[in-house]
Structure 1
Amino acid sequence: MQRHSSDVARLYQTEFIRSARAVGMLWAVCTLCFAIIEVVILIQPSWVGTRELHYRGGGPAPPTGTLGLFEVCMEMDWPVPECRGSLRTLTPLPAFQSPAVLVCMSLTMVWASVGCLCLFRFCNAATVYKICAWLQLTAGFCLALACVLFPDSWACAEMRALCGDRVSSFSPGNCSVHWAYILAMLGVLDAGILSTLAFVLGNRQDALLPEDAKDGDVTGLLLAA
């Protein structure tokens, strides 16, 4: 009877470990996707853009285009928009230097957590999960701060040229937020979810391991198989 109970307990432990491995793999894939999304958020000039207005003539047509942290793209007669800025040298627009630096910091933290995935072969899995969790939590904080500072910097020459003279802090005038800014706000939520999941996986890691593996270095980690 005692042997049967031991076999059942070992079976349940094996199932828990398999489930944790699956969740860990999903977390790793989502972390990589989040890192790629961060790159898109940083370089895309689609944080704000002009609204669809019904122009009736009687004067020059209002400008149309989009604006990001590094570029202002105006829609001209040609199919390709004319962009002004320094994306190649990663020099942000003067008014958006603080949000751009914060997004770069967030991007660095996320890619550092991606790099930490290699440590699962060499270090304790619980420690790696918690390191990644703190990196992702810091990335989410930096991205959230960038999302707050970005509309606070709207009263600048680039925004006035694109969105009209009614532009002020937290008031985009004739423009509206576009998909890159919305993606950045969703990225804050994504960072919170990934960091919380990493903390949970890290705290449960020791409980899921066999008793004889807790006393030494753990190399059979959740993502190893």
Structure 2
Amino acid sequence: MCYVIVTCRSMLWTLLSVIIVLMHVAALLSPQWLLGKEDVVLNGVTPSSNNRQNSTTTVQYRNTETFVPTMGILTRCKQIYTARSEYNYVTCSYYGSFGDLPSGLWKTMLVFYCFGLFILCVIGLGSILSLCVRSVCKKSIFTLSGFIQAVAGLLILISLVFYPAGWGSSRAEELCGDTAAPFQPGDCSMGWAFYVSIAATILTFACSVLSVQAEIATSVDDIQDEIDKGKHLICIV
């Protein structure tokens, strides 16, 4: 017989487990990890008539905009200009393959990050099932999930250490200047994706602790009393 048991603490743990996964996915797919120096984009380039005396060409620009090149774990955004085109434009693209990642340290970071994220996805699904499944192999689904969440958080934390260690790569130097080095971003600054990843990692450990409270909340005598009354949907504070 399936009983749906909802408490404030168990529901909070479930919601946080799902939100953490969404935060990590958004951060991983975003190019907003490393922000370069702001550049001026000159749009609408049109050559005017040539000056016959000095054979030079005067160029007019219809408008200018600012652009910040960025580099993420899987994507990067850069300014593209071709001589035959009237416009500069910005394009964001994924790296073609795992081998195209800017640094070997970032490759290691991606492995740890994705493995930790995969674990969190499984736990996120398990947190939803915890509304009607309270044990797995005679072990509490809350405490078991909380322990696994802590392991996943540790893996992602390790990956976040590898990330700044890869700032000394040649591609990072192209974006951040010659002063870029491991743990020194040079002329670059950190984007919102990096901070979201850190916040999600902190919430992962907090969620691991909250799972213990969710287990306590779903083990009180009031729940058993409701089950004895024949109720299948039980909501308590």
Structure with the greater alpha carbon radius of gyration = 2
Matched residues in 1 for 2:150 and 2:221: separation?
A: 24
Amino acid across the alignment from 2:214: L
Q: Distance in 2 between matches of 1:174 and 1:37?
A: 27
Q: Paired residue for 1:73?
A: 77
- The 3-state SS of whatever aligns with 1:136 is helix
Which residue of 1 is the match for residue 205 of structure 2? 192
Give secondary structure in 1 for the equivalent of 2:7: helix
CA distance in structure 2 between the partners assigned to 1:35 and 1:92 by the alignment: 26
Q: Quote the RMSD (CA, aligned, Å).
A: 3.3
- Decide whether the 8 Å contact of 1:41 with 1:184 is kept in 2: yes
Larger RCO: 1 or 2 (CA < 8 Å, sep 6+)? 2
Q: CA deviation at 1:109?
A: 1.2
The residue that corresponds to 1:57 in the other structure is none
Alignment of 1:161-200 (within 5 A): 161-200=174-213
Residue 164 of structure 2 is aligned with which of 139, 151, 172?
Answer: 151
Structure 1: unaligned runs, 5 residues or longer: 1-17, 55-62
Give 1 or 2: higher helix fraction: 1
**After the TM superposition, which of the residue ranges 111-120 and 176-185 deviates more from structure 2?**
111-120
Residues 68-77 or 151-160, more deviating:
68-77
**Which amino acid letter does the alignment assign opposite residue 42 of structure 1?**
L
Percent of matched pairs sharing the same residue: 20
- 2:71–2:77 contact (8 Å) kept in structure 1: yes
What secondary structure is seen at the aligned counterpart in 1 of 2:70?
Answer: strand
TM-score, normalised with respect to structure 1? 0.72
SS in 2 for 1:72: strand
User: 1:1-225 residue pairs with structure 2 within 5 A?
Assistant: 21-52=7-38, 64-76=68-80, 78-83=88-93, 85-86=95-96, 93-95=101-103, 96-116=106-126, 117-124=128-135, 127-209=140-222
8 Å CA contact 1:41–1:181 kept in 2: the answer is: yes
Unmatched segments (≥5 aa) in structure 2: 41-66, 82-87
Deviation for aligned residue 1:67: 0.8
Would the aligned equivalents of 1:46 and 1:179 in 2 still touch at CA under 8 Å?
Answer: yes
- CA 1:82 to 1:109, structure 2 compared with 1: closer, same or farther past 3 Å? closer
| Letter paired with 1:118 | L
Q: Which has the higher strand share?
A: 2
Deviation of residue 25 (structure 1)?
1.5
Distance 2:80 2:35 in 1: 14
SS in 2 for 1:109: helix
After superposition, the C-alpha distances for 1:119-152 in whole angstroms (9 at most, x for unaligned) are 5424439711112212221221112111111001
SS in 2 for 1:154: helix
